Chain A
Amino acid sequence: MEQVVKSYPTSTRPALDSVDVDIEKGEFVFLVGSSGSGKSTFLRLVLKEETPTSGRVHVAGKDLSSLSSWKVPALRRSIGCVFQDFRLLPNKTVFENVAFALEVIGKAQGTIAKVVPEVLDLVGLDGKAQRMPDELSGGEQQRVAVARAFVNRPMILLADEPTGNLDPQTSIGIMKLLDRINRTGTTVVMATHDSAIVDSMRRRVVELSQGKVVRDQSRGVYGYGA
């Protein structure tokens, strides 16, 4: 990200102001800051759900401002997404939820039958493939969401407060999972305000406040004075 400014027309203050962040391939980055500090806007810019008011966003070597809209789907295939509210399809089983992400990008049935059990195994949900989402605990649902985000082996995994709805114990499980995914070479960018997690992981921390980067340290912790 170079000098990115994003203004919403209804707001007097830009959501992101001259943000200049460089994230390397394979990094694990925490995006911290209070609500309204611009974390979610940051992630939406990477997905090209929003376009910056000025400045440029580069993802995987591509300049998103010059990326034509019909290439956006290809960009998003290289990015996986996890949200606080899971966003699972309640009328589909765990298997179908994960398979859906592959079906809609036109993957062959054979590939789906092979890859989905693998990824369910990876997130620790083997044996629960035929359950419906509302039969699972919050942590398990988030694992399904991670599986869906990761099943296409994206280069980047964006997580917007993935532990926001989970208790600390479950959150640690999810973090271990994200860490394992990071070790496969996937870049993980995680927005959070769960200080305990940030402190325990000791990874790079980018802190946003009122749309500005106020801190960027590797192996950082959540609060000041570390």
Chain B
Amino acid sequence: MRAQFVTSEILIGLRRNLTMTIAVIITTSVSLALVGSAMLMRSQVGLMKSYWYDKIEVSVFLCNHIVQSPNCKGVDVTPAQMEQISADLNNNPAVQKVYFESKEQAWKNFVIQFKNSPGIVKNTNPDALPESYRVKLKDPSKFAVVASAVQDEPGVEQVTDIRKTLDPFFKFLNGLRNGIFVIAIVMFIACALLIFNTIRVAAFSRRRETGIMRLVGASNLYIRLPFLLEGALAGSVGAAFACGFLVLAKVSFVDGVLAPSLTFTPFIGWPEVVGTFPWLFLFGILLSTASSFLAIQRHLRV
């Protein structure tokens, strides 16, 4: 009985100001979708970081006959130099593991990386690619120690830190994410105010009922419940739309546009997308019930 009574009250309330309800649902879904994308962007950055940092940290490129840098002077690295470099790397306490990348492997990776740009592949001579030592560090921040140890050795063209090349990209993604968060917070405020007003209007249009409820001794919870659930319902419908939006973004943007063109890096999968759903519902319901609660607070003083 109670449940049936409360449900009918909620539906009456939502129908009574349908346009406001729709506005609430739209704003909650947009702001929650923004929060969701920010969360997904965060996991994307995390995923890329662990993927790349895990693979290699430092690349020691070796001289070949094309490179005219002062350390190389257009001469191929000699086997003796290579042995020396390899030994020095392996003996360095900061180094965990050293891989050697031959010209053939470098070419293979090159072809995979640029498979969508056949022009670049066609115009590149496989012989032009340098051989390199790929070094994995025990502690990724110890780059400087390893770099200074080998970069002046004969036969070394240059030493690059993978973090240095990727960091601007991650910074960009993080900045984008923070921007989205800020917009989401602004939207949240708009959303809270909208819910606040919607519920206040609902409380005002039902003041006769609430007056009688108080008079006959209905508990405060019982008087408030329809309003709170009304807010919560609007919030969860908004959250559901936001989830739908994220699914759409994953299918059409990540899987449809990003993944086929940027093959060198992994992209977030369904677990990450689905993992944000509970949070969106939580945020949506918390936000809407909290603002409903505040909105009816002064209408329902005992």
Residues of A within 8 A of B (CB): 47-48, 69-70, 72-81, 87, 89, 100-101, 103-109, 112, 148, 152
Contacts and interface: CB of A to CB of B under 8 A. Distances in A.
B216 A108 contact: no
Interface residues of B, number: 18
21 contacts: A47-B215, A48-B302, A69-B302, A70-B219, A72-B217, A74-B217, A76-B214, A76-B217, A77-B216, A78-B217, A81-B216, A87-B211, A89-B208, A89-B209, A103-B5, A105-B217, A105-B219, A106-B2, A108-B1, A148-B212, A148-B216
Contact of B212 (A47, A72, A100, A152): A100
Contacts of B1: 103, 106-109, 112
B215 A76 contact: yes
B interface secondary structure, majority = helix
B216 A152 contact: yes
Given A89-B208, A100-B212, A73 B219 contact: yes
Contacts of B302: 48, 69, 72-73
Nearest to A77: B217
A87 B218 contact: no
Nearest to B216: A101
Given A72-B217, A87-B215, A107-B1, 10 more contacts: A70-B220, A73-B217, A76-B216, A76-B217, A81-B215, A100-B209, A101-B212, A105-B222, A106-B2, A108-B1
A52 to B, nearest CB: 16
B208 A105 contact: no
A97 to B, nearest CB: 9
Contacts of B223: 104
Contacts of B216: 76-77, 80-81, 101, 104-105, 148, 152
Contacts of A89: 208-209, 212
Contacts of A108: 1
Given A69-B302, A72-B302, A103-B1, A87 B217 contact: no
Contacts of B222: 104-106
A40 B142 CA distance: 82
Contacts of B218: 73, 104-105
Nearest to B8: A103
A176 to B, nearest CB: 24
Contacts of B208: 87, 89
A89 B219 CA distance: 19
Give me the 5 closest cross-chain CB pairs, A-B, nearest first. A76-B217, A77-B217, A104-B218, A109-B1, A101-B216
Looking at A70, A73, A77, A100, which has the most chain B CB atoms within 10 Å of its CB?
Answer: A73
Interface in B210-237: 211-220, 222-223
Looking at A74, A101, A112, A148, which has the most chain B CB atoms within 10 Å of its CB?
Answer: A101
